[in-house]
Chain A
Amino acid sequence: MDSGNTAWLLTASALVLLMTPGLAFFYGGLVRSRNVISTIMLSFMSMAVVSVVWILWGYSVAFGDGNAWVGDLSFLGLRGIEPGDDMLFAVFQMMFAIITPALITGAIVERFKFTTYLVFLVIWITVVYAPIAHWVWAPNGWLFEMGALDFAGGTVVHINAAVAAVAAAILVGKRRNPGLEPGNLPYVVIGAALLWFGWFGFNAGSGLAADGVAVNAFLVTNAAAATAALTWGVLSQIQNKKMSAAGVATGAVGGLVAITPAAGAVGVMGALAIGLGAGVFCYAAVLIRPKIAVDDSLDVFAVHGVGGIWGALATGIFTVSAFAGVPGLIEGDVEQLGIQAVGIVATLAYSFIATFIILKVLDLIPGLGLRVSDRDEDVGLDVAAHGERAYVSDGAD
């Protein structure tokens, strides 16, 4: 083992783990104050549940040899994974598996049944996440062999989670009484800040080495986040004469999503263009979302889907031979753009259909079901599902 690489990958793994509590606060601040704990728990429990699933069989299903479509059961319980580069890879990948289903929860907050969600986590990681990770990142995965570029998970993590979020929002239905404003904007900003910070591990760790690729990935990650946040803020200022903090925070996340697949393949000027596009496209998508019948409550598709698709396509546009070894549209080659599109469409189709079926089945199982009672929804899930309140202010508290 190279000690420099090991040190950086362990650090990067911890950074990626921190993104999930960051997401918990990002989402938690956007809901009504009666659902803050519930929303935070959806993300936090992904750390608890997915870590265990990943060790027992998730890693094996994703990265066992298997075939072009799925891994196998050869690494059950991480059997045969020696403490070295292989174990380091399993650890780093575990953190990606944790945050992906947590991203979905933005679409189902304030009404999804918590116990059913825990079951969903186990099944979804196994049936949806692990196979798609295999397609894209395992050496014999079909998208990997086709040459799809997904440096850090724009397809596997973001497009996958975003379209699963749409399926979940359709099945669980609209909230009865959504709040008008975010319940706690400072939470939203601190959550976005933790995501931004953790994303350096996500992207700069994905080259699996402490080298020039990692340095470039680090720089382009920051560049895209900054550009998208700035773009969003300026659009908000132009349209409404005020710059929204929730908007700037969301813009940063959109930029981070978009640069994710491209972080190992583009230079810093390409990153500015990707960030600018993410700001514009995600802003427009968030504006359009309330006019659509599906209650994707916290704009998971508008940010992670639109940002992810833009990023995956932009990778095909702005990739330069000097970084990824393949030319993009910007160097006159259209082939990579086509390969990127295949990866996007395959992920959209498989994740949507599989997630829809999983949730449909869970809805039919007695004792599970997707939705809380109307009364629990009105009371708020903090008290109804967890017996706790985020803000206690009873007189002389």
Chain B
Amino acid sequence: MTMISIEAVVRPERIHHVTEALESVGCQGFYYSNVTGEGRQRGVEVFVGRGGAMASRHSVPKTIVRTVVVDDMQEAVITAIIEAARTGDKGEIGDGKIFVTPVTEVVRVRTGERGETAV
């Protein structure tokens, strides 16, 4: 078995659903942070003229959550994130994206353990 990193860009207002879903499928840990960026959602409308005028701000707030798991958990984690992050039944543009990448090493700082046992 190998280790993988699953990184999901989600709507900030969905992050707590996503973290609950990750816990429920058995992820031992994850971290997330707020970011700003641009995807196909292409901006949000914000006031620029003190209530008179609005304009489109291209970059939008998103939250990135990352977890590292063994690869047999890949589909369960992906399914959990999709269900938790999707807006409504069909989803909407801007719901986010998931990236899966290999991880070559994991080290637990406390004990120095390496590999799967450290995940």
Contact = CB atoms under 8 A, between A and B. Distances in A.
Centre residue among A244, A247, A248 by max chain B CB count within 10 A? A244
A246 B52 CA distance: 10
Given A180-B57, A181-B57, A287 B52 contact: yes
Interface in A150-201: 180-181
B53 A290 contact: yes
Interface in A212-255: 232-233, 235-236, 239-240, 242-244, 246-250
B13 to A, nearest CB: 18
Main secondary structure of the interface of B (DSSP, over half): loop
Interface residues of A, number: 21
B48 to A, nearest CB: 6
Given A180-B57, A181-B57, A246 B51 contact: yes
A244 B46 CA distance: 10
A302 B53 CA distance: 15
B49 interface: yes
A244 B50 contact: yes
Contacts, number: 50
A239 B53 CA distance: 9
A180 B50 contact: no
Contact of A247 (B46, B47, B55, B57): B47
A181 B47 contact: yes
A27 interface: no
A247 B49 CA distance: 8
Contact of A250 (B48, B50, B53): B50
Interface in B33-50: 46-50
Interface of A: 180-181, 232-233, 235-236, 239-240, 242-244, 246-250, 283, 286-287, 290, 299
27 contacts: A180-B57, A181-B46, A181-B47, A181-B57, A232-B50, A232-B51, A233-B51, A235-B51, A235-B52, A236-B51, A239-B51, A239-B52, A240-B47, A242-B51, A243-B51, A244-B47, A244-B50, A246-B51, A249-B50, A283-B51, A283-B52, A286-B49, A286-B52, A287-B49, A287-B52, A287-B53, A290-B49
